[in-house]
Chains A and B, each alone.
Chain A
Amino acid sequence: MSRLDETFAQLKIEGRKALITFITAGDPDLDATPDLVETLAESGADIVELGVPFSDPLADGPTIQAASLRALAQGTTLKKIIAMVKEIRRRTEIPLVLMTYYNPVYRYGLEKFVADAAAAGVDGLIVPDLPLEESEELRRLAVEKLAVIPLAAPTTPDARLSKIVAAGRGFLYYVTVTGITGTRTRLPEELSQSLDRVKKIAGELPLAAGFGISTPEQASTVGAHADAIIVGSALVEIVAQHGATVVGRQKLSDRVKALRLSLDII
């Protein structure tokens, strides 16, 4: 069983929700990323999503755009990120998911990417600009090696969602809003109902909700209707302000612990 599947199976037994945390790899620099991942893991994250910086991140809001630019300015590349994952694996067994736009992977070569990433200890892959119809080859190559995690949106019709779920591995990433990543003070009013509807179709595939969730209150509200919540921009913002300093890691830890607590009281 893969690390991802094991984590969700274990949480299910315990009756707990998964906390998925996102940071951009290489921000503030690649040496700091393993430290930050360790902080996230120790503070109660169940899964870590590592963003691969891209020059044109069209699904991302200003916070993650800026993090991508900082990482690229430090010379971060997909190749270096995969090498860095080996270092993370010396320290923690937390499931790791890469979130990357398609072009860096396409350019790397799909087959080589799957082999290298899996060998380094990557468990899954989220590609926001690779919808179901375009991901066939990647999914075929990734079987038994990497979970290609599908995305669904509020605009996805039920029939299409069933197909997405059937092809999906790891978990289903439900985008809570029609929009781009970034913190929001308000989430859609109908979100709970949408999640309940999606959950029915998702069946055994764990349902994770992401985009716009930043506060413990939002985490518990959304978490009540999903198997996992994903928090990104709010954490990236902390790294933006404090880097991987002692203070930065403390603040990151505090936020993750608060989110953890809010999920555990559901």
Chain B
Amino acid sequence: MIVPNEKGYFGAYGGRFVPETLIAALDELTKAYEQYRHDQDFQEELKEWLANYCGRPTALYRAKRLARELGIKEIYLKREDLAHTGAHKINNTMGQALLARRMGKKRLIAETGAGQHGVATATAAALFGLECEIYMGEKDIERQAMNVYRMDLLGAKVIPVTSGSRTLKDATNEAIRDWVTNVGHTHYIIGSVVGPHPYPLIVRDLQRVIGIEAREQILEQSGALPDYVFACVGGGSNAIGIFHPFLEDDLKMVGVEAAGSGLESGAHSAPLCVGEPGVLHGSLSYLLQTEDGQIKEAHSISAGLDYPGVGPEHSYLRDQGRVEYIGVTDDQALTALRLLCRTEGIIPALESAHALAGVVAQANLLKEKTVLINLSGRGDKDVATLAALKKGEEK
């Protein structure tokens, strides 16, 4: 079955649950995307920007010291942290900004959690001379201050969101409200494989470059496909990006959600592990919600994973059993982060540290295996959070 279908459904999940005002804009976007996804000029232009501006292909690095430490045969890291702006998010924003430009839109808006998507959107806006406003929860503005300064330097306006949990969920609500109001001249760059159709499709296609490169690189370096692919899952764009080109291959895939203080604690961001299907931000997918259908606040030490929903294609892959989804706690992620710093000299983002922690947690199953991990971003933005934690521990 080809997913999504023409209504934007991945099996039972996806669709378009948005106010009528946005339907015309989504139709316009769908039409434009259908045109440019097969347009050679567009694809060539995107490829060139990704190569010469973003630094693609990103490296595939064999982490021998980490593998030895964990007793795993081989570990390969797909180094999305080395992409321009420090994470995979740029793959999506460059593609969508080019699309917006072709559609004649003058203004870009986006939501951001960790700030990586906000920075990547601000970067594309600066590069193409587009107006740019970024919605960010107040709580995230505090814990990701460096990215707020970066967006400011890049000429974007960061709008603090004070409603609800003051994190990514609420920033997304505000971005949608802005889009409903300014839909004529504004393109909304959603940062993950979430939202109404065609966003989960567009973002997936733009992030597939990660998996396409990794597949070629690992075949070249090790002569075989990996046995396992691991990636962290918040909305799920880096995970879909690396998983998708391997879906037809005979290997296992593991998506790692943020279990926060523990799955049983209620303070986590793991809808695929313990959520129920429902509708949020335009699509039907697994969600953290109450019995009465109210959306629950998520929790994670990682701002980029601190979201109660997940992309519909992940819900589909979960129900199909094609991808296994597990959760690792804040503490497990922090331990894995420090391990990578000390064994390999790489400071990963807190988000990406969840993927590593998933591998650490399952290390005894992986002894004789080759494991590919998507290192989706670098950790510079988290240094202040980590320093504060260390200070707390020393007291």
Contacts and interface: CB of A to CB of B under 8 A. Distances in A.
B180 interface: yes
Contacts of A38: none
Given A103-B278, A103-B289, A129-B279, A153 B17 contact: no
A174 B278 CA distance: 27
Contact of A178 (B21, B170, B282): B21
Given A58-B281, A180-B177, A104 B294 contact: yes
Contacts of B293: 54, 78, 103-108
Interface string A80-115: 000000000000000000000111111110000000
Interface of A: 54-59, 61, 65, 72, 77-79, 101-108, 128-134, 151-157, 160, 164, 175, 178-180
Given A178-B181, A179-B181, A78 B292 contact: yes
B129 interface: no
A129 B18 contact: yes
B16 A107 contact: no
Contact of A156 (B23, B169, B278): B23
Given A58-B177, A106-B278, A133-B7, A155 B21 contact: yes
A79 B294 CA distance: 13
Interface of B: 7, 15-25, 163-164, 169-170, 173, 176-177, 180-184, 276, 278-282, 284, 287, 289, 291-295
Contacts of B291: 107
Most chain B C-beta atoms within 10 Å of own C-beta, residue among A61, A133, A160: A133
Contact of A103 (B18, B25, B180, B280): B280
Contact of A130 (B17, B22, B164, B181): B17
Q: Which of A54, A104, A157, A175 has the most CB of B within 10 A?
A: A104
Q: Which 3 A-B pairs have the closest CB atoms?
A: A107-B293, A104-B293, A153-B21
A72 B294 contact: yes
Given A103-B280, A178-B183, A54 B294 contact: yes
A169 B44 CA distance: 49
Task: Decide if the interface of chain B is mainly helix, strand, loop or mixed.
Answer: mixed
A104 B293 CA distance: 4
Contacts of B287: 103
A107 B289 contact: yes
B169 A128 contact: no
B20 A153 contact: yes
A77 B303 CA distance: 30
A160 B23 contact: yes
A66 to B, nearest CB: 9
A156 B294 contact: no
A151 B289 contact: no
Contact of B278 (A61, A107, A157): A107
A134 to B, nearest CB: 6
13 contacts: A58-B173, A102-B279, A103-B278, A104-B292, A106-B293, A129-B282, A131-B18, A131-B23, A151-B20, A153-B23, A155-B25, A178-B181, A179-B21
Nearest to A155: B24
B193 to A, nearest CB: 19
Nearest to A174: B20
B279 A103 contact: yes
Nearest to B282: A129
Given A58-B173, A131-B16, A79 B25 contact: no
A175 B184 CA distance: 16
Contact of A180 (B16, B181, B278, B292): B181
B195 to A, nearest CB: 11
A78 B294 CA distance: 10
B110 to A, nearest CB: 16
A21 B61 CA distance: 63
B20 A107 contact: no
Given A56-B164, A108-B293, A134 B16 contact: yes
Contact of A151 (B19, B278, B284, B294): B19
Contact of A55 (B18, B21, B164, B284): B164
Given A56-B164, A179-B180, A79 B292 contact: yes
Given A104-B292, A104-B293, A56 B23 contact: no
Contacts of B180: 58-59, 178-180
Nearest to A65: B163
Given A56-B173, A134-B15, A175 B21 contact: yes
